[in-house]
Structure 1
Amino acid sequence: MNRTTGDHEGHGGAGGRDRDEAGRARSARPRDGLGRPLPYGAEGVPRQPEGVVRGPDETLREAQRLFDAGMPFHAHEVFEDAWKSGPQAERDLWQGLAQLAVGLTHAARGNTAGGARLLRRGAGRLTGAGPALAGAYGIDAAGLVAWARELAARAEGGGRAVDAAAEAPRLRP
């Protein structure tokens, strides 16, 4: 219970938004495998903890595990931690991978136009990040770019949600 507002923690607080101790917005609502909020009290999937510093290998392993489980939204959160905690020179690489994950998330949620846009944006960012940087971590950048562009075209053309697990990319060959 929040002593200031009288609200139960995780159920809105001041202004109807969840806040952490520093006043930053957060969402305590449970989420499904695609990151969609569920009603309070519903059974959701475990959220990825924020601010976890992982090395590149651990980041890629965890993200691949989440992709394979049909949870690209959660893979995005792993990549977000990598771009926030990693060297500036690697930012485009991790942001590009995060955009691929969010693109797949949107396409799986049925937002095929938005998903296609993000998949193409992520492919462009990966291309700009340079194959040498991606290759240093064993990332199949060329394969991911091809996957993203092909899925973007298919998602837009079909106009129907895609299966996130069936469409999961392979980060490494």
Structure 2
Amino acid sequence: MQRGSEEDPETQLTGMDEARDRDESGRARNARPRDALGRPLPYGSPGVPRLEEGRVRTPEETLAEAAALLDQRLPFHAHEVFEDAWKSAPEQWRGLWKGLAQLAVGVTHAARGNLSGASRLLTRAAEHLEPFEATKPFTIDVDGLRTWSERQSAELEAHSEASPVWLTVPPLTGR
């Protein structure tokens, strides 16, 4: 009997699968390599380097790193940077970072060919960004990004075939 298998009595009692990839603290983490859009590849395949999860950055560092990743056509990685900001931000800014994370993962889904999922995520991104339009926090072009997200969502919804679409995100800051 293999440890971590369904037949293993310890696995049945604890519900833990010992064969799963885990980090140093014992939390389940998939260590498989990933492609540029975050999809898992077979073990041993060359993949795109992954970012350190849970890294706390300043808003300016977050925006600069995410913008660079979007420019490099790594929207999944940009999403992870925004997600780190969302999880570590003060409550008042979480909706902003969540909206930006959803924008980046919407771009990821479009590039993977999941156009309906991309459309839904971009709509949610616009909804989360809207409350921040008046304040333009951290010089983010909230109005421009919200408008872009809504327009892209509508265009993706109108696509009749599910083929990959590359969306170029406008600058995150400025105007």
- Shorter chain as denominator, the TM-score bin is 0.7 to 0.9
CA RMSD of aligned residues (A): 1.8
The one of 81, 90, 94 aligned to 2:93: 90
Corresponding residue for residue 100 of structure 1: 103
Q: Which structure: larger Rg?
A: 2
| 2:76 equivalent in structure 1 | 73
Q: For residues 94 and 107 of structure 1, what CA distance do their matches in structure 2 show?
A: 20
On the 8 A contact 1:112/1:156 being kept in 2, the answer is yes
Residues in 2 aligned to 1:93 and 1:113: alpha-carbon distance in whole angstroms: 23
Q: Name the structure 2 match of 1:171.
A: 172
Q: Deviations over 1:45-96 (max 9, x none)?
A: 1111111111000000000001111111100100111111111111000001
Write the letter of the residue equivalent to 1:169.
P
Is the contact between residue 103 and residue 115 of structure 1 (CA under 8 Å) also seen in structure 2?
yes
List per-residue Cα deviations over 1:21-49 (Å, max 9, x = no partner): 33311111111111011111111111111
- In structure 1, C-alpha distance between the alignment counterparts of 2:134 and 2:21, rounded to whole Å: 41
Bigger relative contact order, structure 1 or 2, given CA contacts below 8 A and separation 6+?
1
Aligned counterpart for 1:32 among listed residues 32, 35, 38? 35
Q: How far does residue 17 in structure 1 lie from its aligned partner after superposition?
A: 2.5
Distance 2:170 2:48 in 1: 21
Runs of 4+, deviation exceeding 6 Å: none
Question: Runs of 5+ in structure 1 lacking a partner?
Answer: 6-12
The answer to whether the 8 Å contact 1:83/1:90 transfers is yes
TM-score (norm 2): 0.84
Gaps of 5+ in 2: 5-15
Q: After superposition, where does 1:138-157 map in structure 2 within 5 Å?
A: 138-157=139-158
